[in-house]
Amino acid sequence: MAKRIGKHTFLTENKPSFIGYGSVVGKKEHLGPMGKEFDLYSDDMRFGEKTYEKAESKLQETALKVALKKAKLTSNDIDMVFAGDLLNQCIGSTFGLKNYNIPYVGVYGACSTMGLSLALASMLVDSGAIEIAAAVTSSHFCSAERQYRFPLEYGSQRTPTSQWTVTAGGASIIKKADNLPYINAVTIGKIKDLGVKDANNMGAAMAPAAYSTIKSFLLDTNTAPDDYDLIFTGDLGKTGSEIMYELFLRDGIDIRFHHSDCGLMMFNKEKQDVHSGGSGCGCSAAILNSYIMNRFRDNTFKNILFVPTGALLSPTSTLQSESIPSIAHLINIKI
Amino acid sequence: MISKEEYKQLVKKHSGSSPKPKDFIISFISGGIICIIGQAIYNALLSLDIKEDYVRSAVPSILIFLAALLTGIGVYDKIAKHCGAGTLIPITGFSNAVTSSAIEFKNEGFILGVGDNIFKIAGPVILYGTSASIIYGFIYYIVKTIGG
């Protein structure tokens, strides 16, 4: 049963492990620096579906299929699936997972969804309440663009701080096991809002959330950044990462050399013209379920922090000139 | 924890701003090119012995058509990414706003999808553009009546 340490952190006791993982991406992501790490990709932005929303569902469906295959399981073996996405009412998840017939828990953490779903999955598996859980999430450039910005063919310019929504789906299968990467600890983040209103500067909105959650975890566990191989934030991008460094530097902590951002890893920022970097639930989910897991497999990583960040805004709150509340959840993965 | 005011300064320090002089020059040139194209069409139609009145309505229609076509084949947004206001301000930008919305909402059906959303971006321009011209017309009428 997960044990609470410090103020916000839960330590697992029974090694809830990644027994399967899968990632599916779009063409642009495949052409990026991480391209070779992903399981599957498609040149067709619609993934053979009629709409971009259905395409996003396909991402989740396929990512879970790949993860199940790697874990040598069928959907009947899964006791519960935790999933979410950015679309209204999380239709990316519900339509993508409806045919699996697995008890479903829909979660919403914006781009931090992979962290939230893994936190819930690992704690329930650790407690013994369920044996095998799945955590799935996705984002799709076109469906996000339609919901949050302009029509795809509309001619507009992006600001330097804007980020590019990643087209990707990621799935993890969690079960107690030995000798596999496992979730050692979980910190559920608090909602942070320092008044950033620019929806084209989500890195700046989310940086305080990442800072707060990582800081809580380090305090709770009495550890320092250099105790970890790397700290991966979800999608702070260039702007958000730099702001987070400065927030830590004010406390005398330098995390620059222990930090990577999935949004910055996903694309070649200049060549692929993504301004501040990638974003979206699928961004951190795909990097976790490919690159990070692969590096655990080849023994490069032994102990990392995975901290996806989410901007909890909606098109309505943006139109009403509200600021952007943000959140970050932390998953400590060890082998 | 840092105060909101302090954080604002920190965000400002790290958030780069758009290259304004470059954007201004590119939009000036690209907007100018669209006007030259319009003028060229105007001259060409006149040289075909078409009445000037007809030519005046034909030129914007042709520009609107060309912008809609470029939007439909997925080129307009790629040009606009570099040209900014240069492609936004002329009538071609208006055409792009309407066409892109129409394409976008096709999947939601022709009535509640396209019908409901076709003026999603252009709507404010239509509403306030029309309102402004009514007010202008009204003032013009009064001034003219008083001035004789």
pLDDT given for residue A169 in this prediction: 98
pLDDT given for residue B70 in this prediction: 97
Identify any residues that bridge with A326 across adjacent strands, giving them in sequence order. A192, A311
pLDDT given for residue B18 in this prediction: 86
The letter for the amino acid at A183 is: I
State whether A239 and B14 contact (CB < 8 Å).
yes
Contact predicate B97/B121, CB 8 Å: yes
Strands A104-106 and A80-84, how do they pair? parallel
3-state SS class at A24: strand
Structure tokens at A165: 């929504």
pLDDT tens track for A141-196: 999 999 999 999 999 899 999 999 999 999 999 999 999 999 999 999 999 999 99
pLDDT tens track for B36-70: 999 999 999 999 999 999 999 999 999 999 999 99
Whether A182-334 and A15-176 are alike in CATH topology: the answer is yes
Residue spans of the domains in chain A: they are: 15-176, 182-334
Structure tokens at A81: 């699936």
pLDDT tens track for A255-280: 999 999 999 999 998 899 999 999 99
Check if CATH label 1.10.10.10 holds for domain A15-176: no
Looking at per-residue pLDDT, the higher value among B146 and A327 belongs to A327
A120-126 average pLDDT score: 97
Residue spans of the domains in chain B: they are: 25-147
- A interface toward B at CB cutoff 8 Å? 50-51, 146, 150-161, 194-196, 201, 204, 208, 212, 239, 242-243, 246-247, 250
Strands A164-165 and A9-11, how do they pair? unpaired
Contact predicate A308/A234, CB 8 Å: yes
3-state SS class at A1: coil
State whether A152 and B104 contact (CB < 8 Å).
yes
Residues of B in contact with A201 (CB under 8 A): 11, 15
pLDDT tens track for B100-143: 999 999 999 999 999 999 999 999 999 999 999 999 999 999 99
A66-88 average pLDDT score: 97
The DSSP annotation for A47-71 comes to TTSSSHHHHHHHHHHHHHHHHHHHH
Over 70: is that where the pLDDT of A216 sits? Answer: yes
Residues 6 or more apart whose CB falls under 8 angstroms from that of A135 comprise A81, A82, A83, A114, A117, A118, A120, A121, A171, A172, A174
So what's the ipTM on this one? 0.91
Interface of B with A in 61-80 (CB under 8 A): 71-72, 74, 76-77, 79-80
pLDDT given for residue B16 in this prediction: 84
Contact predicate A281/A113, CB 8 Å: yes
pLDDT given for residue B148 in this prediction: 66
pLDDT given for residue A328 in this prediction: 98
pLDDT given for residue B12 in this prediction: 95
pLDDT tens track for B1-22: 789 999 999 999 999 888 899 9
3-state SS class at A246: helix
A260 phi and psi, to 5 degrees? Answer: -135, 150
pLDDT given for residue A267 in this prediction: 97
A220-245 average pLDDT score: 97
The CATH architecture that domain A182-334 belongs to is: 3-Layer(aba) Sandwich (3.40)
pLDDT given for residue B147 in this prediction: 82
Q: Closest CB to A243: pick one of B14, B71, B77.
A: B14
Q: Closest CB to A242: pick one of B4, B14, B93.
A: B14
Size of interface A-B (CB pairs under 8 A): 92
